[in-house]
Structure 1
Amino acid sequence: MTAQDPGARPDWIAVDWGTSHLRVWPMRGGTPLTRLQSDRGMGQLSPDTFEATLVSLLGDWLAGIENRLPVLVCGMAGARQGWREAPYAAVPCTPPVTGVPVETVDPRLAVTILPGLSQTQPADVMRGEETQIGGFLRGTPGFDGVICLPGTHTKWAHVSAQEVVSFRTFMTGELFALLSKQSVLRFSMGEGWDDAAFGDAVGDAMARPATLAADLFGLRAATLLEGLSPGAAKARLSGLLIGVELAGARPYWLGQEIVILGEDGMAGAYRDALVAQGAQVRCVPVDDMTLAGLIAAREKT
């Protein structure tokens, strides 16, 4: 089938618009007809260029469309500097299904942007991860526990009765990138990994989080004086930062069922660190969670 065939024409469009990426799924009901992607993320665009970027990426998938095609968007397109701001929904709440309509020049598009989530005490926000949470809950509606979403800004979300009750964000991934690439520690970093060094560092940081700044410089000293290998230094840096995070996030994960959305190296590192603390944890593939969350929102509107 081609996009021009009636059986291949989408009846709605799912869009995940992040800071650095754009993913688009022409949909027929709950089935994606294809997946389109681009590096034209929010960070490269001004508000008046979003529509043209989307239309260009869709290309022939808009051929033959006579009525306004629903387009459901999640992610950073709804940020203040994005296509149009979609104000946050305050927790506790279900992952949002009602969005903000966007006026378009192209008469074939009826665009709606889903909001992120906000929390006042303590102040926190998320935009995009709530759709992944909604995707997980679509497949596991009875879940009651904590969802961890590792990344540049890792999220811990307490979920109960289909609602996000509260959440916390930790800038652990960004701190790792800054310290390993722009600080004096960059001279100690390199390829490889050392599981034992990672595990020891997690334990050290959880036991003595107040000494983090000193322990970080200790990585450089150990490189110079003890021949600490680049792979072990990298693993220990990751362990120290994740250990401090786990110490701060203890009220979320202690005694809870924990689901980590992800299967890559970062998700595995979080899993190993939590298992070492006796936590009940499992990893769930995250690749299709955003699309599942968009489908869930579409089904409820």
Structure 2
Amino acid sequence: MNTEWIAVDWGTSSLRAWAMGADGTILAEAQSSKGMGTVTPAAFETTLLELIEPWFETAHLPIQVIACGMVGARQGWVEAPYASVPCLPISARLTKAPTTDPRINVCIVSGLSQNTPADVMRGEETQIAGFQAEFPKFDGIICLPGTHTKWVHVSAGEVVSFQSFMTGEFFALLSQHSVLKHSLRDGIWDDAAFEKALSDSLSRPEKIYAKLFSLRAEDLLHGLNGGAAKARLSGLLIGAELAAAKPYWLGQMVALIGADGLTDLYATALKSQGITAQRTAPTDMTLAGLKSARASILE
């Protein structure tokens, strides 16, 4: 194994690294629960070295490390300035991280920003770049479901505009810290309940707050199944998001990049509106984007 460079995806809650060969093949991979949120600024270098140390024996030193994600946030290793849209998702303007170990040279991918309406992303730009590398002729909308779901308009290789929705975070907050937590018990997921709530919310998004409380009331009065309650909560929140994001997806080609479970729900929601979305795996897109980032600095 001859490690040519190292790809890193460093988010808030996890760290993943891949030893990469000269031809772009994955030679080894490692992961850690030491995400950006648990690492002090002074500990980023040692945390990374602990994970990738075994790869140095066969590496060409010093080795290039290309990282993306929240590692480049203001609270991360070093702040990687945002690139303002419209722009390429990744340019050669990577930010060098301060290191003391001469065996590594760490560069961090910049996030993207939008002035009006104000918005930012960090990490998703790498997946977008990976998607464009795999599908260079795609013009349309890329949706990245997650804690803060992104709807991104891409055209001619550039990110034109984007909008973020806190749908995933609201689901977590309502499930764990609101009166609804008493009704969202374990149970069998109910597809019909999800689709009915989705339709209700898409058609009348202004009634979502009343619909949310009715979940608790129905449980108290009629013993609502916990799985059905979760499905309805998901349907209401995703439906309201789709109603607000309609200018992005209506009449557009749409691609989804995200984990299977959540992305399944978005695919179902879009299909209800007559849109069959193209789907890709997030890890594949992240790696393809990191490869693009490395290629940009080698040019």
Distance in 1 (alpha carbons) for counterparts of 2:157 and 2:247: 20
How many Å apart are 1:286 and its aligned residue? 2.0
180, 194, 214: which one aligns with 1:198: 194
Match of 2:86 in 1: 92
SS of residue matched to 2:3: coil
Match of 1:276 in 2: 272
Residue identity matched to 2:39: L
Residue identity matched to 1:139: E
Match of 2:51 in 1: 57
Distance change (3 Å), C-alpha of 1:240 and 1:268: same
10, 13, 29: which one aligns with 1:20: 13
SS of residue matched to 1:288: helix
SS of residue matched to 1:280: coil
Provide the identity percentage. 57
Q: Is the 8 A contact 1:263 1:284 kept in 2?
A: no
Distance in 2 (alpha carbons) for counterparts of 1:284 and 1:263: 9
Distance in 1 (alpha carbons) for counterparts of 2:50 and 2:81: 27
Question: Cα deviations across residues 165-212 of structure 1 (Å, max 9, x unaligned)?
Answer: 111110001101111121111111122211111111111111111111
Match of 2:37 in 1: 43
SS of residue matched to 1:63: helix
Aligned residues: 294
Residue identity matched to 1:23: R
How many Å apart are 1:68 and its aligned residue? 2.0
After alignment, is 164-173 or 89-98 more displaced?
89-98
Residue identity matched to 1:20: S
Distance in 2 (alpha carbons) for counterparts of 1:193 and 1:236: 10
- Which structure 2 segments of 5+ residues have no match? none
Question: Cα deviations across residues 194-244 of structure 1 (Å, max 9, x unaligned)?
Answer: 111111111111111111111100111111223321111110010000000
Question: Cα deviations across residues 107-136 of structure 1 (Å, max 9, x unaligned)?
Answer: 111111111000011000000011011111
How many Å apart are 1:287 and its aligned residue? 2.6
Residue identity matched to 2:35: G
Question: Cα deviations across residues 60-81 of structure 1 (Å, max 9, x unaligned)?
Answer: 2113656421111101110001
Distance in 2 (alpha carbons) for counterparts of 1:80 and 1:262: 25
TM value normalised by structure 2:
0.95
Distance in 2 (alpha carbons) for counterparts of 1:222 and 1:241: 18
Q: Is the 8 A contact 1:263 1:283 kept in 2?
A: no
Residue identity matched to 2:94: G
- How does 1:67-78 map onto structure 2 within 5 Å? 67-78=61-72
After alignment, is 239-248 or 88-97 more displaced?
88-97
Match of 1:290 in 2: 286
Match of 2:217 in 1: 221
Match of 1:3 in 2: none
Q: Is the 8 A contact 2:4 2:60 kept in 1?
A: no
SS of residue matched to 2:136: coil
Residue identity matched to 2:147: T
Residue identity matched to 2:127: Q
Q: Is the 8 A contact 1:16 1:23 kept in 2?
A: yes
